[in-house]
């Protein structure tokens, strides 16, 4: 990804709704799929982006995506040698020695570079510089005291989502694997503008690594299907499958350009978050399709499309999308699902932050897949990616919202690894709805408290469209 170099800290983005970054890699949100809210637009590398599904439950529960931070690619002359060697036997250089003071400085620099004071608590570069002077004014004798210093320094920001992660917490977060084979993908357009997928990160000793895949390799096909032009988000779904089954990859190694067929054993599988049924309306003259979406994972878009098309084939003329108690998941999944219902050019969401790369307008690029009347059910536990979908469809007059006000979590976060294996999660931006409302701390108010008659829904949406044109 593009890199705005941070002296030492490695950064990978999880988006909010979770976090972000690895050393020289930067992903921005919701950008092309896993840029994960995932930064591919414009050809930058992308990392899995997520939306925090933990809501207000502090650190531990945030849904995180992102595969192990990038590894140095083997030199070209080692390509053939590696095919004959046990990957686990490859020598790795010992980590550089880092002082306790440098760990504190790293954490300070991360905040100084990217932190967004979303709560308007009075943060300023001048105050933060003074904080640095204060904390480094006294000796820091142990690594434990360095970590405590970082915790106190971050706590002074007053942002519960900006926090310190122990090496164990960071490792657990970094190894969350959404492909099932231990890799993270980035999208890079070639000279003709065709998207190609390369391995951005790989889990050491994970299934793909043990089978011979390396960071920087290009994935050419999955189970015989040419994936050129497909997004990293789409391909992540192709890689998924039942645990202990195999997926066949055609890979071109980064340095020697050798093309190999590699068979990889899956280690995990995403569960479908979609449940649906066909219901007869009270009038008895029509059917309505009910679809419950429990979370936004790598299968959400694909399974939602399958469910809605099956319901349409069975006679559904309108739909209820139930997002109650859906606390989020992959930001990009939410963005891609919203695009299924939007007209080409309509805004999905705006992102705001200090970093110009965080400031984006995400729009639908194609005509809608579904145009039937849509009711979205929400409540106080509808959050993050769910709020992006609800706001996008509501503000563009594609759906009515029914239920209770949503949770109100619209922060974008990044996670930076410090050089001792610990990490810092930092709020770097926020989401703003197409109607320019700040989601975070406000939530989204529904149009109705109870499901209205279908005629009322169509009337409401028609009036909405007239008002927006005016």
Give the residue among 360, 430, 441, 432 at the shortest CA–CA distance from 116.
Answer: 430
Catalytic hit among 384, 386, 414, 422: 384
Strands 347-353 and 360-363: antiparallel
Is the distance from CB of 296 to CB of 330 less than 8 angstroms? yes
- Residue 62 CB burial class (10 angstroms; 0-12, 13-18, ≥19): buried
How many C-beta atoms lie closer than 10 Å to residue 200's C-beta?
30
384 catalytic, yes or no?
A: yes
Report how far Cα 277 is from the mean position of its chain's Cα atoms.
29
409 catalytic, yes or no?
A: yes
Catalytic hit among 294, 398, 409, 430: 409
Q: Is the dihedral of CA 449, 453, 458, 463 positive or negative?
A: negative
Angle at 128 between CA 49 and CA 415, to 5 degrees: 15
Q: Which residues are catalytic?
A: 384, 409
């Amino acid at each position: 990804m593009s890199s705005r170099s941070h002296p030492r800290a490695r950064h990978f983005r999880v988006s909010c709704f979770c976090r972000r970054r690895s050393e020289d890699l930067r992903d921005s949100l919701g950008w092309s799929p896993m840029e994960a809210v995932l930064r591919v637009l414009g050809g930058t590398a992308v990392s899995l982006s997520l939306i925090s599904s933990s809501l207000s439950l502090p650190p531990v529960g945030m849904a995180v995506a992102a595969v192990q931070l990038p590894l140095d690619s083997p030199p070209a002359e080692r390509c053939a040698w590696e095919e004959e060697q046990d990957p686990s036997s490859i020598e790795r250089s010992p980590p550089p020695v880092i002082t306790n003071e440098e760990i504190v400085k790293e954490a300070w620099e991360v905040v100084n570079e990217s932190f967004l004071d979303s709560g308007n608590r009075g943060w300023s570069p001048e105050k933060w510089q003074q904080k640095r002077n204060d904390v480094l004014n006294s000796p820091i004798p142990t690594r434990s005291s360095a970590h405590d210093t970082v915790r106190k320094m971050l706590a002074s920001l007053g942002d519960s989502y900006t926090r310190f992660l122990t090496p164990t917490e960071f490792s657990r977060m970094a190894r969350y694997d959404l492909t099932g084979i231990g890799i993270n993908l980035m999208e890079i357009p070639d000279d003709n503008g065709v998207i190609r997928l390369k391995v951005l990160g790989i889990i050491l000793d994970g299934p793909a690594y043990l089978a011979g895949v390396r960071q920087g390799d290009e994935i050419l096909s999955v189970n015989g299907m040419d994936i050129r032009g497909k997004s990293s988000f789409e391909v992540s779904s192709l890689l998924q499958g039942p645990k202990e089954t195999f997926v066949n990859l055609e890979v071109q190694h980064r340095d020697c350009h050798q093309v190999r067929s590699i068979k990889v054993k899956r280690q995990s599988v995403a569960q479908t978050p979609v449940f649906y049924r066909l219901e007869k309306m009270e009038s008895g003259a029509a059917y309505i399709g009910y679809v419950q979406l429990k979370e936004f994972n790598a299968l959400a878009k694909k399974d939602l499309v399958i469910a809605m098309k099956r319901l349409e084939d069975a006679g559904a003329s309108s739909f209820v999308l139930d997002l109650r108690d859906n606390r989020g998941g992959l930001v990009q999944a939410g963005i891609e699902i919203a695009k299924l219902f939007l007209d080409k050019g309509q805004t999905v969401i705006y992102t705001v932050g200090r970093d110009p790369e965080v400031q984006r307008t995400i729009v639908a690029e194609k005509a809608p897949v579904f145009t039937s009347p849509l009711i979205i059910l929400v409540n106080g536990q509808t959050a993050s990616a769910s709020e992006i979908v609800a706001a996008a469809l509501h503000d563009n007059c594609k759906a009515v919202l029914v239920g209770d006000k949503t949770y109100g979590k619209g922060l974008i976060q990044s996670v930076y690894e410090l050089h001792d294996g610990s990490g810092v999660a930092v709020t770097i931006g926020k989401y703003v709805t197409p109607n320019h409302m700040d989601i975070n701390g406000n939530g989204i108010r529904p149009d109705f408290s109870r499901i209205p008659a279908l005629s009322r829904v169509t009337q409401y949406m028609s009036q909405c469209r007239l008002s927006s044109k005016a």
